[in-house]
Amino acid sequence: MNPTPLRIRALQAVMLRLTVDPEFGAALYRGDPAARSVDVHGGPYTLTDADLTLFQAVDARAWTTDVYRRTRLVQSIIEEYAVTTAIIGVPMVHRFFATNRFAEVLGHRGSVAEAFGVWAEMQCSGSNREVSRLETAIARARRDFRPGGTGLVAAPGKEGTRVRTGTLEAWQQGLATLGGNPVQAAADGVRWTAAPAGPGWEQWLLERNNSGGLGVHALSAAQAGLMVFCRTPRPHSAVTRHARKLKVAKKEVRRVLRMMQANGLLVMRRS
Amino acid sequence: MSSFSERVRALPHLGLGVSTEYGATDREHALDPVALREENPSWAAFLEVGVEVSVGLDVHAVRWAERGWPTTYHFLDVNLDDPEDLDETWLEAVRQTIAVLKPAWLCGDAGLWHLGRRDRGHMLLLPPVLLPEAVTPMADGLRALRAATGLEVLPENPPGAAFLGDLHLLDFFARVAEEADTGLLVDCAHLAMFQRARGLDPLTALDGFPCDRVVELHVAGGTVRDHQGLPWVDDDHGRDVLPDTWQIAEYITARATNLKAVVIECERNPIDVVRPLFGETAARWSAAAGATP
């Protein structure tokens, strides 16, 4: 198959953004130079005058006739990020859909949930940030997505994360505070703040199981670091070097990597 | 590989059918395709099953197929112009679904079914960019899916209130069909939406359209709504079919020499409400084509 031309992918990304982000739409229809720059795979692409004319030929109101599209997206985020939503508030979840981070999802075959998690973490500080990071890792574990390519890669559906001591417990407390229906409570605007985290670190393996639930197991710091490093497939040599950076003893690296493969944490993908 | 004009002869004549998707039949007041078929077999001669592979098939679709009754497979989850969307995992799930449904062909809106990568919460439907350089990727995707499944794949003109690009929707799909050497599914209600959105007559551009490639038609009700002062047509699959939609359907039916199937999309309505729609569609098809639907 021929790849879709850059121009078409950029126009598609802009179309999609117009249906969700009226502020962007207003800027585009004004001809705002910043709105002409499209972050797209193989890009960036700058909308030409001819492209702008194509958009301006369409009544701007026509892009938002599905008035619930953004609400559905917000809802899908709250379903996976109830605690983070309670930390940052529903208006901030809406705000995400007017950010470049969201636009990047459109142009790069990204994941809204994963991109939101990364963005939301930056909106938080201290222990709240740690809880948000944990919830992002949970969202990643629910997916079995890994980018294409060869090399060592973290097993789909398994996510390693390293957070401050007490973060898992804090997240559970957050859920408990939101009550029997945490998603509804978060959507209704119930707010929550995490207690200060401990000084140390804890590492967790979050593992999607066959019944759709989530298993949580402890990992070593090196294992968690290697799983994060291998979210994208990496050459064995690069993983070895990274293990050394994570302070795995030189003579232990081979054994650690073998054990992680034997335990199904890492997978060797060949062409 | 034989040409479309040769391949189309092997496709079965399905007649009038109804559409469904996962869970549609279980909704309150929804159309029960089996009950409709039992009432009048020619009104539900086949079932068009909307499939999102991550969701799968509901028990009603499976039971229909188990009875050996005809089906078509309407995809709801692939951006045909994106090579990454036709990944082996998705294709394998499609093949498994085909093994259950044994559909006469595949079909579906040829537009954007999701933003970003295929993921929960990402599903939507937007029309393609109507520019010449968007034709080849779409045609490539159609050919690839046809090769991967061994079935005809009929692209459908998607709905929308906003259409980007200076090609007419029909000219775009005529080019896609020519390049992919494929048949077409024309959704008459979607086309009526396009014509209204562009301020055109319902039959604009049909004179140059290759009606001989049309294998399937969709007829559905729509409702004119207002959004910030802009009138637009909501493709709500209600009982009230716009006059534009009937006009388009009659024009194409009279010229579509390879028309095999007409779907009446009204899955959210009880039989009593939509019964007249089936009678009217059958009569119009018969009158326009001089054929028995």
Q: Do B165 and A54 touch (CB under 8 A)?
A: yes
Say which DSSP state A2 is in.
P
Tell me if A19 and B136 make a contact (CB, 8 A cut-off).
no
Residue of B nearest to A1 (CA): B140
Structure tokens at A84: 């983070």
Break chain A into its structural domains and give their ranges. 6-64, 69-269
Which residues in chain A have Cβ-Cβ distances shorter than 8 Å to B116?
Answer: 105-106, 108-112
Task: Look up residue A4 and give its two tokens.
Answer: 């879709």
Of residues A1, A15, A19, nearest to B144 (C-beta): A1
Q: What is the mean pLDDT of residues B17-27?
A: 91
CA B259 centroid distance within chain: 13
Residue owning tokens 């390879």: B258
User: Does the beta-carbon distance from A64 to B225 stay under 8 Å?
Assistant: no
pTM above 0.90, yes or no: yes
- Give pLDDT tens digits for B221-271: 999 999 999 999 999 998 899 999 999 999 999 999 999 999 999 988 888
Strand A266-269 relative to strand B15-21, pairing? unpaired
For the segment B105-114, the average pLDDT, to the nearest whole number, is: 98
**Residue that is written with structure tokens 């962007």 in the block:** A24
For chain A, first and last CA: distance in Å? 19
Closest to B161 (Cβ–Cβ): which among A16, A65, A113? A65
In which region does residue B84 sit, left (phi positive, over 0), alpha (psi from -120 to 50) or beta (all else)?
A: alpha
Q: What is the mean pLDDT of chain B?
A: 95
Q: Say whether A220 sits in a helix, a strand or coil.
A: coil
Is the CB of residue B247 less than 8 Å from the CB of residue B202? yes
CA distance readout (Å), B39 to B16, B26, B36, B43, B45 = 14, 19, 5, 8, 11
Min distance A13 CA to chain B CA atoms (Å)? 8
Identify from B78, B86, B119 which residue to disrupt to test chain A contact, counting A C-beta atoms within 10 A and taking the largest count: B119
The pLDDT score that the predictor gives to residue B274 is 87
Quick: pLDDT tens for A88-123: 999 999 999 999 999 999 999 999 999 999 999 999
pLDDT per residue as tens digits for the range B172-214: 999 999 999 999 999 999 999 999 999 999 999 999 999 999 9
| pLDDT for B291 | 53
Q: Are B218 and B156 contacting, i.e. CB atoms less than 8 angstroms apart?
A: yes
Q: How far apart are CA B20 and CA B30, in angstroms?
A: 10
For residue B123, what are the CA distances in angstroms to A22, A175, B117, B153? 19, 28, 10, 21
User: A61–B229: do the CB atoms touch at under 8 Å?
Assistant: yes
Q: Which of A105, A113, A143 sits opposite B115 (nearest CB)?
A: A105
ipTM, interface predicted TM-score of the complex: 0.95
Distance of alpha carbon A15 from alpha carbon B245, whole angstroms = 26
Give the phi and the psi of residue B196 in degrees, each rounded to 5.
-65, -40
Q: Do B129 and A3 touch (CB under 8 A)?
A: no
CB contact under 8 A, B121 and A77: yes
How far apart are the C-alpha atoms of A123 and A118, rounded to whole Å? 9
Instruction: Measure the CA–CA gap between A16 and A105, rounded to whole angstroms.
Output: 10
Please report where in the chains the tokens 């294409």 appear, as a residue. A148
Q: Which residues contact B219 (CB under 8 A, 6 or more apart)?
A: B188, B189, B241, B245, B246, B249, B262, B263, B264, B265, B277, B281
| Residue B12 pLDDT exceeds 50 | yes
Q: What is the CATH number of the domain that holds B194?
A: 3.20.20.150
B79, B90, B120, B133: best to mutate for the A interface, most A CBs within 10 A:
B120
- Give residue B123's identity as a one-letter amino acid code: M
For residue B257, what are the contacts with CB-CB under 8 A and spacing of at least 6?
A: B211, B212
Closest to A174 in 3D by CA, of A234, A112, A132, A136? A132
State how far Cα A221 lies from the chain centre.
22
In the block, residue with structure tokens 């399905």: B14
Contact B117 A11 (CB under 8 A): no
CA distance A241 to A253: 9
SS3 B168: coil
Structure tokens at A158: 């398994």
| Tokens found for residue B101 | 């449904």
Distance CA A164, CA A197 (A): 6
B19 pLDDT band, cuts 50/70/90, is very high
Provide the number of structural domains found in chain B: 1
DSSP string, B137-163: HHHHHHHHHHHHHSS-EEEEPPP-S--
Distance from CA of A103 to the nearest CA of B (A): 10
Cβ neighbours of residue B152 closer than 8 Å, sequence gap 6 or more: B7, B8, B11, B105, B106, B146, B182, B183, B215
Which stretches of chain B are DSSP H helices?
A: 4-7, 33-39, 59-66, 88-101, 135-149, 169-180, 188-197, 243-255, 271-289
At which residue do the structure tokens 């759709």 appear?
A212
Which positions in chain A touch B83 (Cβ < 8 Å)? 1, 3
**Which residue is listed with tokens 């910043």?**
A34
Give me the pLDDT at residue B177, please: 98
Residue spans of chain A under pLDDT 70: none
Q: Which two tokens stand for residue B135?
A: 């034709």
Task: Give chain B positions within 8 Å (CB) of A19.
Answer: 124, 126
What pLDDT does B290 receive?
A: 65
Domain of B59, in residue numbers:
4-289
A196/A208 Cα distance (integer angstroms): 28
- CB-based contact B230 A105, cutoff 8 Å: no
pLDDT > 90 in chain B, percent: 87
Q: Provide residues of B within 8 Å CB-CB of chain A.
A: 81-84, 86, 112, 115-117, 119-122, 124, 126, 129, 131, 133-134, 136-137, 140-141, 144, 161-166, 197, 225, 227-230, 232, 234
Pair type for strands B106-109 and B153-156: parallel
**Interface size, chain A vs chain B, as Cβ–Cβ contacts under 8 Å:** 111
How high is the pLDDT of residue B292?
A: 47
Helix (H, G, I), strand (E, B) or coil at A161: strand
Over the range B250-278, which residues count as b (16 or more CB within 10 Å of their CB) and which as e? bbbbebbebbbbbbbbbbbbebeebbebb
Provide the residue type at A65 as one letter.
Answer: T
B277-291 pLDDT, tens digit per residue, is 998 998 988 887 665
Which chain A positions have a beta carbon within 8 Å of B159's beta carbon? none
CA distance A106 to chain B (A): 5
Q: Say if the Cβ atoms of B137 and A8 lie within 8 Å.
A: yes
Structure tokens at B40: 């009048």
Q: How confident is the model at residue B27 (pLDDT cuts 50, 70, 90)?
A: confident
- The alpha carbon of residue B219 is apart from the nearest alpha carbon of chain A, in Å, by 22
What is the distance in angstroms between the Cα of B134 and the nearest Cα belonging to chain A?
Answer: 6
Q: Does residue B83 have a cis bond before it (omega within 30 degrees)?
A: no
